[in-house]
Amino acid sequence: MIGIFDSGIGGLTVVRALMLQLPGYDYVYFGDTARTPYGTKSPETVVAYALEDTTFLIGKGAKLVVMACNTASSVATDAVKRQFNVPIFDVITPAVKRSLEVSRRGRIGVIGTRATINSDIYRNKLQAEDPSVEVFSNACPLLVPLVEEGWLRKPVTTMIVKKYLHPLKVRQIDTLILGCTHYPLLEGIIQTKVGQRVRIIDSSVGVADAVKAFLEAHPDVDQQMGQTGQSKLYVSDITEQFTTIARTTLKENVSLELVKL
């Protein structure tokens, strides 16, 4: 089984991307809806949660784990990789690689939660690969609650997106990384407001490509994944928002199970 976790609903965009790339595989998802958001918590707390989330998924039979949360990926990847003996994927590394491939002028924008932007992980990783790139970032703390509220097309959401993107637009970015797994649900508005010429990098698509490439290169691991087409979603609190967004994002009737970690 492929295990995926997020603080709540954002990781469903990663499940959607994985199901497109790897249809027929077995998936187990954990959304930590009781403790969301992670983006406003301290790094120590997010590391502790990420370790618990991974333990849960491995206990459910996951043989590979995707940390489908930029916040957890930015502060907890090393700790999770140290502790567990299965392949671990973060959402940041593939987004960095892809943005360096597509950026024409090396002017890369990053948006994410406060925790992700404060960690400076994207800047550090981008400039470690290519010191000449310029990185402009902006935390967008209001976007997660707007997505959770299902306000994906409201005028107020468009206004807020415009305001957050303005400082990046004036720096003439040519590429924009959606450094939060909630943001692909706002991709249309973001593309309109940042301008059609800016390439948008969706970290959920990048990590799905990376998992697919890894499984192709490691048939021994691939064989352990299970391909009966089953997916199970677990949450630490059953909320109306999660149920609605899970249905619209995955476009299928999802069954949810409540767990207490």
Q: Which member of 77, 119, 175, 181 binds ligand DGL (CB under 6 A)?
A: 181
Contact pick of 3, 18, 47, 71 for ligand DGL (by CB under 6 A): 71
Burial per residue of 24-62, b for 16 or more beta-carbon CB atoms within 10 angstroms, e otherwise: ebbbbbbbbbbbbbbbebeeeebbebbbbbbebbbeeeb
Which candidate in 62, 69, 143, 176 is catalytic? 69
140: annotated active-site residue: no
- Binding segment for ligand DGL (CB under 6 A), chosen from 97-105, 152-160, 176-184, 239-247, is 176-184
Q: Which stretch binds ligand DGL (CB under 6 A): 63-71, 123-131, 165-173, 240-248?
A: 63-71
Q: How far is the CB of 155 from ligand DGL (least distance, A)?
A: 23
Closer by beta carbon to ligand DGL, 144 or else 250:
144
DSSP SS3 for 235: strand
Cis peptide before 167 (omega within 30 of 0): no
Q: List helix spans (H) across the chain.
A: 12-21, 43-59, 70-83, 92-102, 114-119, 121-129, 143-148, 155-169, 187-194, 203-217, 219-223, 240-250
Contact with ligand DGL (CB under 6 A): which of 33, 54, 113, 157?
A: 113
Contact 32, 5 (CB under 8 A): yes
**Interface with ligand DGL, residue 33, by CB under 6 A:** no
Q: Select 6 or 26, whichever has its Cβ closest to ligand DGL.
A: 6
Q: How far apart are CA 188 and CA 214, in angstroms?
A: 30
Q: Hey, which residues are catalytic here?
A: 69, 180
- Binding-site ranges for ligand DGL (CB under 6 A): 6-7, 10, 36-39, 69-71, 113, 116, 144, 180-182
